[in-house]
Structure 1
Amino acid sequence: MSDFSADFALDGEPEREFNPGIARRMAHKTVAAGALIRDPAGRVLFVVPNYKPYLDIPGGIVESGEPPSAACAREVREEIGLDRPAGRLLLVDWTPGRGPWSDQVQFVFDGGVLDPAGLTLTPAADELTGTRWATLEEARPDLRPSVFRRLSLASTAAETGQTLHAEFGHLLST
């Protein structure tokens, strides 16, 4: 993780709350980060979670004080044993809260184009039952519609070199 001590020194003393306790009463969003990893044929590397019935990309929740790019690299390493930095930011997608989950800001980073034949993936047994390479269309029945939309936009961003902004998988701006 980056050391921001020099930046903190430049910014000076932390802000003081004008109304004590107000920061604790403000809404807190969950932040997640994942990697869009592709193969030369255009297939996406999906993880098969053991805690939900849908496919996802390698990634997870950003810890307190952790930059999203560092969280992406950490989660990819923890989930599938692949040690590589997060690439270029492809997409920022906000998702509304549903069920037990708060709303989230989700970052999708470029995980690169890798040859599956040269990879040794080690799915984390406490989280995953495996991995799967598939095109988005092949995986569509096993993806939540919002995740399909998000990954479609992330794929477009990877192809065009743009970084995209979405809400619940719907493009807002370029």
Structure 2
Amino acid sequence: MTSRDPATGLPTLDDDLFTEGEPEAEFNPGIASRLPRKNVAAAALIRDEQGRVLLLEATYKPTWVMPGGVVEADEDPRLGCGRELEEELGLRREPGRLLVVDWVPRHGVWGDQLQFVFDGGVLDEDGVAGLVLQESELRAARFVAPDEFGRVALTPSLTRRLERSVEAQEKGTTEYTTYGRLGR
């Protein structure tokens, strides 16, 4: 019997996995455990009514970040983004369409990562006033105009990812980037 998601009426992920059948057996035992694993993060591009972008001052790093975070094991990136928005900001909303998938190369102790940026929509004055920062991770939040990204303590790669995300949101496109750069 097919189980259905009550919100969408579609078969559930568990049902999809069941109907896929038994997982493929390893031809060479142990090969799956030796395959590389990528980290995954998901963020939301949230704007105010003036078109400024929400950025967060994290307690755990010297630069500002987008709302979002690391996706947990076996968690859909879009759902992970929504979970992070609720945890960090008390904001309950389902992220919108995918704007950017950015591949971030290994850097120091940090392994390579795929970063998904979703459209987080627009917050009106009441929405902004209702934000509740997660004190253990965030010091401050502020909205920044895209032409002022250079005045905020952002990493160069995040600045590029933000610019690509704003462009994708405005053009109605989805972009694949490498460390925030188009093409390659």
TM-score (norm 2): 0.89
Q: 1:169 aligns with which of 158, 170, 180?
A: 180
- State the 1:10 CA deviation: 2.1
Residues 1:68 and 2:83 are matched in the alignment: no
Q: 2:98 aligns with which of 89, 101, 108?
A: 89
In structure 2, runs of 5+ residues without a counterpart are: 6-11
Per-residue displacement from partner, 1:105-134 (whole Å, max 9, x unpaired)?
000000001124543111111111111111
- State the 1:50 CA deviation: 0.5
Q: Which amino acid aligns with 1:88?
A: R
Counterpart mapping for 1:2-81 below 5 A: 3-81=12-90
- For the residue of structure 2 that corresponds to 1:170, the secondary structure is coil
Residues 1:129 and 2:122 are matched in the alignment: no
- Cα separation, 2, equivalents of 1:151 and 1:36: 8
- State the 1:15 CA deviation: 1.3
* Identity %, equivalent residues: 49
- Cα separation, 2, equivalents of 1:139 and 1:152: 9
- Cα separation, 1, equivalents of 2:108 and 2:125: 36
Larger radius of gyration: 2
- State the 1:9 CA deviation: 2.2
- Cα separation, 2, equivalents of 1:140 and 1:79: 24
TM-score (norm 1): 0.94
- Cα separation, 2, equivalents of 1:123 and 1:170: 30
Query: Hey, which bits of structure 1, 4+ residues long, moved more than 4 A?
Result: none
Q: 1:110 aligns with which of 104, 110, 119?
A: 119
Q: 2:159 aligns with which of 119, 124, 148?
A: 148
Change (3 A) 1:145 1:116: farther
Question: Cα RMSD between the aligned structures?
Answer: 1.4
Change (3 A) 1:13 1:118: closer
Change (3 A) 1:101 1:40: same
- Cα separation, 1, equivalents of 2:51 and 2:181: 22
In structure 1, runs of 5+ residues without a counterpart are: none
Per-residue displacement from partner, 1:51-72 (whole Å, max 9, x unpaired)?
1111111000110110000000
